[in-house]
Structure 1
Amino acid sequence: MSEPAAPDPDYGVQTPRLFTAPPNYLSSAGQEAVELAAMAGLDLFPWQQSVLDVGMRERADGNWTAFEIAVNVARQNGKGGIIEARELAGLFLLKERLIIHSAHEFKTSRVAFQRIQSLILGCPDLRKRVKRMLCNTTETSITLTTGESLQFIARSGGSGRGWTGDCNILDEDMILGDDAMGALMPTMSAVPNPQLWYLGSAGIGAPSVQLARLRRRALAALEAGVPDPSLAYFEWSIDPHVDECPTGCTDHDDPDDLASWAKANPSLGYLITPEFVRNERASLGSSGIFERERLGVGQYPSDEADTWQVIGEEAWRALAVADAKRSGTVSFSIDMTPERSHAAICAAFPWRGGVHVTVVEHRPGAGWIVERAKELHAKWNPRCWVIDPASPAASLIGALEDADDGLGVEVVKPTGRDMAAACGQFYDAVSAQELTHFDDAPLASALAGAQQRPLGDAWAWARRGVSVDISPLVAATLAKWGLGAEVEEEGAPNLW
């Protein structure tokens, strides 16, 4: 996405200042969502259409390219229009069985219900497909005659815990912490193609735990020049001056400049007038509220003190190489998050007197794993496949070992003692600089969010929070261990 060469300063910039999205997709359901919204009387601005186009992109297998979509934009710009269009599409086009719309407080969810209710009732073609609409003290929902349902809940009350939503809309995401995410993530493991949509405005400090994590992932992807494999992130904001800026600094944005207002408010000139923003600025003064609420300058809690606890970032980055060619046999390993939201396949092979590890595949969900494993097995003839039998990935062992539809080989299943040895060997190899990698972003993110958990007299990998995905790290660790595991090898190695 690129900005127009000469945007009109009286109108908001339609492209976000911060943007990242998974690169590989076949098509998008976004245009159909836009057209359905228009049929219901909801005409979307270009920036809203763009968010839907990117957020609803699909891979060749029909699954979403982005598991998580985050929209960080100032208030009153129309994020509700994106929510309504996505929910209409989920109900009437995608036939998602359950869509959960949550906000921090129920009054916000109730307003959202009333808005989409009005759109549906105002369109005869949609209204005739509705079985019931409820808005009472026990349930606020819309249910179609074909069974699809849209439920409105409040996160602050703990309602909705345990519901399995195909699509989860998290409004007011600047108030979203570990408790809410811990209740939500495990429920999505049973959904074959789930999506999470986060929408809100700039971070407000300590309550913005999850938004801060999403933003850090986006910034890391932009810094590395490698898109996050499962996150689409949009942020309209300014890059504000800092204390060190000299007088007349042009590298940062001036909060009193109309161009800054346009940069942070894509609906300027559509929903918000420059005159209103000018009055808003005069009223709020230099309190910092204007910068946060209108210009997207947020406060985000930091995990810096908790990152890279086990292996230091500098030590890990120093082992990155641009190229490595296999000089012997290879082993593969598979791991999956406890919520089954993401999975990873990693490989390890001898190289330059040590071991090279790499992330071969890291994707949302689990339905893709067996077929991808079969492709890799046929191509590389590995000495073994390794899966921890106590992990969520253990459910794949039977399918992989199946002689007809799987790999037709026995998966190596490490014991608890083996897991501890594998983690120790991985750590020692890094310390001795006997391990290399391609600086894979998923593996680096996993290491940044990993910690140790006791395992007898030793330790194994653990994650700091529910939003941390260490499956690439566990898979890489076990792939390395698999090079020395006792297996019955058949035939000669297929060397690169």
Structure 2
Amino acid sequence: MTLLSSEKSAGQKPGDAASSPADNVVYGYQKPRLLTVPPTALSSAGQEAVDLAARAGLTLDPWQQFVLDQGMGERADGNWAAFEVAVNVPRQNGKGGIIEARELWGLFIGGEKLILHSAHEFKTAKAAFKRIQALIRRTPDLHKRVKQYRQTVGEEGIVLHSGQELRFIARSKGSGRGFTGDCNVMDEDMILGDAEMDALMPTMAAIANPQIWYLGSAGIGAPSVQLGRLRRRALAALGDGTPDPSLAYFEWSINAHSDECRPDCTEHDNVDAPESVLKANPAVGYRLTLEKTLNERLSMGAAGFARERLGVGTYPSDAADSWQVIGEDAWRALGDGTSKPGDPVAFAVDTTPERSHSAICVAGPSGDATHVEVVDHRPGTGWVVERMVELQEKWGPRAIVVDPGGPAGSLIPDLERAGLQIAQPKTREVAQACGQFYDAVSDQSLVHLDQAPLATALAGADKRPLGDAWAWARRGVSTDISPLVAVTLARWGLGVEVEEQGAPNLW
């Protein structure tokens, strides 16, 4: 996870120490102001995408290559390090080139069975179809692999002889239902809300190695629900130094002055400064010029220029970030960066309904309080059993808790075959666990490490009725509350009656 300003200043070419005396071209910053990527990538398929695009006649700028390299990072098991990739860059910089390179790779190298490309407006989706169709048609070795270019209005797409398909749709709350996409490309993501995400996110559930790409420009207020959510996750990761395990986020923008800034403020950027244009527009020197972008300022208001050219967006507040059940101040007040659980400890496992992420958490006594902690939080479920066996052997917990009625319930047979004894709470006990956790926060008998995955889960959590009580629920389809569910169950596991499993090793 990295936070970078550009490594290049005005007048420098990306990759060079400085421009040659004869080179008067000014280049934009090739690294984004806001950047966070999962730390688990050991390799990348990005260069394959860059090389394939070049074969098709699409030459990518250094910044576009950088996004593909980082966004297509792969873990040791070959799966994507980033489940979600977001590119927030001002208009006309060339985000379409990134989309085309990623889609070409998915069709002709990656073996993705279905790629869904959606845009807010039908005309945008159709234009994207025409651009990639042209790239393929002029590349004989790619064109010969195409069985059909579907031209029917509303059903545009490209089908290969292998059966793979790239399909273009205009977004709606119903579009995408029934499709199972290996890769979803969400163009114009500054106009993307919960209804569209509710329709499209579940299409990833049955895919072993899915990925979503969001591409657009700065937020425009109320319509930018999902972009705002992604941006807040990135800022949270950058703020506390805890990488988001599934998000790669790239934002070219300036940190503009506010009304409270003093006249001599040097920490923020001036909207009228040429350097600000370079920071926010990596395509300057390639398809944009500094002169033309500065001339736009003459015909645009300050706010419009800041949004459209400098990436200064307006992002809506989100119910998923409003701490509906437990207040943020109350939770943060219990944060302790040094506490550790004592003997005995209990572990719990939970996963998201889409099986996109899983969490293993621990609880144990810490003085007069109970310590809760996220031990592991990663994409998918395939790693859970092996990791839980390691933790069992190392700590000898008094209980390992999995809700048999929750998404992680399907892991119980594999955990038991691995020799683990699983405590399985009944429905009323799940409700009791949630109530006990809530009470522990209220009476300040709980401590934690203020970890980002747990704070994000609490921020996006809500209640769902469970008999006369309640259990945890998520407010949006993209909210991952598995860390919260797991710490709640782990705390409950400290008091559940189980057979003795041996004393834990030294912490």
What interval of TM-score do these two structures reach, taking the shorter chain for normalisation? over 0.9
Q: Which residue is equivalent to 1:451?
A: 462
1:101 aligns with 2:152: no
1:63 aligns with 2:66: no
Q: Which residue is equivalent to 1:378?
A: 393
Q: Which residue is equivalent to 1:432?
A: 443
Q: Distance in 1 between matches of 2:91 and 2:375?
A: 41
1:156 aligns with 2:172: yes
Offset from partner CA, 1:403-435 (integer Å, 9 cap, x none): xxx2x2342111121011111111222222221
Offset from partner CA, 1:256-302 (integer Å, 9 cap, x none): 2111111111101211112221221111133x222111111111101
Identical positions, percent: 66
Shift of 1:345: 1.0
Provide closer, same or farther for how the CA distance between residues 306 and 442 of structure 1 changes in structure 2, counting only shifts above 3 A: closer
Provide closer, same or farther for how the CA distance between residues 305 and 180 of structure 1 changes in structure 2, counting only shifts above 3 A: closer
Shift of 1:309: 2.2
Q: Distance in 2 between matches of 1:473 and 1:304?
A: 17
- Selected match of 1:144 from 153, 160, 163: 160
Report the secondary structure of 1:234's partner residue.
strand
Q: Distance in 2 between matches of 1:400 and 1:157?
A: 38
Are 2:64 and 2:98, in contact at CA under 8 Å, matched by a contact in 1? yes
Provide closer, same or farther for how the CA distance between residues 395 and 316 of structure 1 changes in structure 2, counting only shifts above 3 A: same
Shift of 1:159: 2.7
Q: Which residue is equivalent to 1:8?
A: 11
Q: Which residue is equivalent to 1:345?
A: 360
1:302 aligns with 2:320: no
**TM-score calculated relative to the size of structure 2:** 0.93
Shift of 1:191: 0.7
Aligned CA RMSD, in angstroms, stands at 1.7
Q: Partner amino acid for 1:463?
A: R
Shift of 1:13: 0.6
Structure 1 window deviating more from structure 2 (113-122 vs 364-373): it is 364-373
- Selected match of 1:419 from 410, 430, 453: 430
Q: Distance in 1 between matches of 2:428 and 2:260?
A: 53
Are 1:327 and 1:495, in contact at CA under 8 Å, matched by a contact in 2? no
Shift of 1:2: 5.3
Are 1:328 and 1:495, in contact at CA under 8 Å, matched by a contact in 2? no
Are 1:332 and 1:347, in contact at CA under 8 Å, matched by a contact in 2? yes
Q: Which residue is equivalent to 2:270?
A: 254
- Selected match of 1:320 from 315, 335, 349: 335
Provide closer, same or farther for how the CA distance between residues 36 and 397 of structure 1 changes in structure 2, counting only shifts above 3 A: same
In structure 1, the gaps of 5 or more residues are none
1:485 aligns with 2:501: no
Q: Distance in 2 between matches of 1:355 and 1:199?
A: 43
Report the secondary structure of 2:254's partner residue.
coil
Offset from partner CA, 1:174-202 (integer Å, 9 cap, x none): 01000110111122111111101000001
Q: Which residue is equivalent to 2:17?
A: none
Shift of 1:378: 2.4
Provide closer, same or farther for how the CA distance between residues 148 and 212 of structure 1 changes in structure 2, counting only shifts above 3 A: same
Report the secondary structure of 1:170's partner residue.
strand
1:215 aligns with 2:231: yes
Shift of 1:451: 1.9
What pairs up with 1:119-134 in 2 under 5 angstroms? 119-134=135-150
Q: Partner amino acid for 1:344?
A: A
Are 1:334 and 1:386, in contact at CA under 8 Å, matched by a contact in 2? yes
Provide closer, same or farther for how the CA distance between residues 331 and 73 of structure 1 changes in structure 2, counting only shifts above 3 A: same
Shift of 1:398: 1.4
Shift of 1:251: 2.5
Q: Which residue is equivalent to 2:94?
A: 78
Offset from partner CA, 1:134-172 (integer Å, 9 cap, x none): 111352111222222111111037332131111110000
Shift of 1:490: 3.4
Are 1:238 and 1:260, in contact at CA under 8 Å, matched by a contact in 2? yes
Provide closer, same or farther for how the CA distance between residues 138 and 254 of structure 1 changes in structure 2, counting only shifts above 3 A: closer
Shift of 1:475: 0.4
Q: Distance in 2 between matches of 1:357 and 1:244?
A: 39
1:398 aligns with 2:413: yes
Q: Distance in 2 between matches of 1:246 and 1:495?
A: 54
Shift of 1:321: 2.1
Q: Partner amino acid for 2:356?
A: S
Are 1:87 and 1:99, in contact at CA under 8 Å, matched by a contact in 2? yes
Q: Distance in 2 between matches of 1:272 and 1:31?
A: 24
Report the secondary structure of 2:422's partner residue.
coil
Structure 1 window deviating more from structure 2 (379-388 vs 320-329): it is 320-329
- Selected match of 2:295 from 271, 279, 283: 279
Structure 1 window deviating more from structure 2 (431-440 vs 171-180): it is 431-440
Report the secondary structure of 1:350's partner residue.
strand
Shift of 1:334: 1.0
Q: Which residue is equivalent to 2:21?
A: none
Report the secondary structure of 1:190's partner residue.
coil
Structure 1 window deviating more from structure 2 (247-256 vs 19-28): it is 247-256
- Selected match of 1:224 from 237, 240, 244: 240
Are 1:326 and 1:351, in contact at CA under 8 Å, matched by a contact in 2? yes
Q: Which residue is equivalent to 2:369?
A: 354
Report the secondary structure of 2:471's partner residue.
strand
Shift of 1:455: 2.1
Corresponding pairs, count? 491
Report the secondary structure of 1:358's partner residue.
strand
- Selected match of 1:165 from 181, 184, 195: 181
Report the secondary structure of 1:156's partner residue.
coil
Report the secondary structure of 1:346's partner residue.
strand
